Each structure stands twice: as structure tokens, then as C-alpha cells.
Amino acid sequence: MPPRGMPPRPPRPRPVDPPTEVIPRVEDDYDDEYYDDDYYDDEEEKPAPPPDSVAHKTVRGIGEALITLGLVVLLFVVYEVYVTDLLSAEKQEDATAALDSEWSSNVVTPPPADPNRQSKLNLIEGKAFAKMYIPVFGNDWKFSVVEGTTDKHLEIGPGHYKDTAQPGEAGNFSIAGHRVGKGAPFNDLDLLESCNAIVVQTQTQWFVYRVLPMRNEVAGWAANPKAKEPACAGVAPLSTTLGDAYAKTVGQEIVAPSQGEVIAPIPHQVNATVPPEKQARLLTLTTCHPRFSDKQRLIVHAIETKSYPVADNFVPPEMTEG
């Protein structure tokens, strides 16, 4: 209430509410059929693809066959290169252990003093009778050599061609070995150079062979500074020391698989009638060429230059040439 003497306060005007706005209803432009469940079910069902044509089926079949073939080839390569190496390593270890046991238990007669007479080894097919070392390939390159060159024999390690000379004998002591898989003892045979040492050990003797001059070294060997190196002592083209019968015998050659004359007592001279005392003491190594193929044969010829009797704690100095 206002104080006395004051005129009354006029009443406060009440705010006028705005008129209520009516929003008109928006009618859908779509017909009810678009909201029908059957409509969406029909939209989700895609038409079936057309049947494969004969050409499409053929191409797909060839593609699947090639993939399968590729996997088979890959598995075969893995088996040949790696699995067979492991299997052959076990067989090589067993052969070496048997050879060591035989050597340690047998009492043998020392080799004859006459270097022209060698003690004959009792070679039994499939059994190891010697050890071979190639120092230039490293200290871990060593294999026991077995008698025989069948697939079964070569799975064990390098194999001696039956009916060829024995270690240290006049003639041609010949050995075969795999280049890929099954231990691959001759994988790097193509890396050997003239005068490289190949050492063979029997129960009583060490034999040192050295690779002969290569074909491109024969003509100028006498003037070649390499010929004066200590490692090349006793190494020369055989045609200059033993005559024309050995004209084709060089350090390395590639031949066809049918050319078995490379392991003849005088290589490439199957019908030669040279007496043993006039024959060189050769070592011949053979393997497949090129790698992963048996189309040709890689041949390495070496000549014996030294021999030593086996003795306790003695190792030929040539073994350190690696």
C-alpha cells in the first residue's frame, strides 16, 4: 500500500502472450509402398551371377594348377637342397665314425719304402676307406670317401669309381660327388685353381695332389710367374713332361656325361698302352654342371706331388694353405 498522502500506484500491465504459431503438417511425397517391408527385402536380394563360361573355367583351372605346381617345385627344391643335406650329413658322420674306429683298432703294416709300390687297400663297396681335404675351401671342408658311385653311395659322400686307381697309385684315382644337395661336397669345385692342394689320407699315408695348369695356362706355363711359386713345385703341363698322350689332360674341363674317358688311366686315351711306371699319378674329381643340372660334367685333374707317412701329431704342411 502506498504511503499516506501519495496517490495510488497504477497497476502493472500484464504481458500479452504471443499468439500460438501453428506449424502446418508436412505431407510425405513418398507413397506408402516405399515403406513396405517387401520393398526393402527385394532391394537386398542381388541377382545371381551368370554361370562361368568354359573359357573362364579353363583359365581358372590352369591358374590353380600352376600355383599347385609352383608349390610342389618349391617343396622339391627345399627337400633337395636342405633336407637331403641333413640326411647326408648324418650318413657321412656314421661313415667317418666307422672309419675312425677301424683305423684305431687295426694294426697295419707300414707302407713300403719304395714309392713305386703302394699297399693295396681292401675296398668294400659302400664303406669309407680314405679322407679327403681341400684346404683352400677352409678347415671344415673334409669328407670320408666311400667305395662306389651309385646314388646310394653318393648320398654318404664322395665316391670312388670302382676299377680306377687307388690313392697314390699310378693311373687315375677318380672320385665323384654331388654339387647340389646330398651334402654337396663338390659345390665349389669350379673355384679350384691351378696348384691348389687336394689332400687324401689313408690309414698309413697322406697323399698331396695339386690341380694341373688350366687350358689357358698351358702354352705359357714356363714363363708364368705362378709356375715359380712353392705351391706349384712339381706341377707342369703333362704334355711337356709325359708326352702327347696327356695333351688333353688339363686342370679343368667341361664334358658330356657320356665322356667316361676322363677317368681312364690316361684321361681321354681309353686304348692307350702306356706301362704303369710311365703313367702319372692322377686324381680326377667329377661332378654335375652347371648347378641344378646334370646336362654336363665338370672335371678337375690333379697330380700327386708329395706323400707322407701317417704319424702321431703330424699334419702335412699343405693342410694350412687355406
215-231 per-residue burial string, b: 16 or more CB within 10 A, e: under 16: eebbeebeeeeebeeeb
Listed in sequence order, the residues at least 6 apart from 45 whose beta carbon sits closer than 8 Å to its beta carbon are none
12, 94, 177, 257 from 6: Cα distances, Å: 17, 134, 136, 141
Rg (CA), the chain: 43
Cell of 141: 671342408
Q: Is 232 a catalytic residue?
A: no
Residue range 263-315, pLDDT digits in tens: 999 999 998 888 888 999 999 999 999 998 999 999 999 999 999 999 999 99
d(CA 321, CA 192): 13
Residue owning grid cell 665349389: 188
Cell (9 digits) for 198: 687336394
> Where are any strands of DSSP class E within the chain?
128-133, 142-147, 159-160, 171-176, 197-201, 205-211, 252-255, 281-289, 296-309
- Which helix (H) or strand (E) covers residue 306, if one does? strand 296-309
DSSP class per residue in 109-129: PPPPSSTT--PPP---BTSEE
pLDDT digits (tens, 9 = 90+) for 109-135: 655 655 555 568 999 999 999 999 999
Q: Please tell me the predicted confidence (pLDDT) of residue 92.
A: 97
Q: How far apart are alpha carbons 275 and 292 in whole angstroms?
A: 39
Pick the catalytic residue: 153, 160, 232, 288?
Answer: 288
pLDDT at 316: 98
Per-residue pLDDT at 76: 57
Cell numbers for 297: 660334367
What's the burial of 81, exposed, middle or buried (CB within 10 Å: 0-12/13-18/19+)? middle
Angle, vertex CA 12, rays to CA 10 and CA 15, nearest 5: 150
For the entire predicted model, the pTM comes to 0.77
Q: Which of 153, 160, 178, 301 is catalytic?
A: 178
Grid coordinates representing 179 are 654339387
The confidence score (pLDDT) of residue 271 equals 87
- Ramachandran class of 227: left when φ > 0, alpha when ψ lies in -120 to 50, beta otherwise: alpha
**What are the two backbone dihedrals, phi and then psi, of residue 144, each rounded to the nearest 5 degrees?**
-85, 135
Degrees, nearest 5: CA angle 136-138-140: 140
Provide the CB-side half-sphere exposure for 8 (13 A, CA): 4
pLDDT tens for the chain, residues 1 to 322: 555 666 666 666 666 666 666 666 666 555 555 555 555 555 566 677 777 777 777 877 888 788 877 876 666 555 565 677 889 999 999 999 999 999 999 766 655 655 555 568 999 999 999 999 999 999 999 999 999 999 999 999 999 999 999 999 999 999 999 999 989 999 999 999 999 999 999 999 999 999 999 999 999 999 999 999 999 999 999 999 999 999 999 999 999 999 999 999 999 999 888 888 899 999 999 999 999 899 999 999 999 999 999 999 999 999 999 7
Annotated catalytic residue 288: yes
What integer pLDDT is reported at residue 55 of this predicted model? 78
Domains of the chain, by residue range, sit at 76-320
What DSSP element (H or E) covers 308?
strand 296-309
Q: Which CATH number fits domain 76-320: 2.40.260.10, 3.40.50.300, 1.20.1340.10, 3.40.50.2300?
A: 2.40.260.10
- CA dist., res. 245 & res. 239, Å (int): 7
**Sign of the C-alpha dihedral computed for residues 164, 169, 171 and 174 taken in this order:** positive
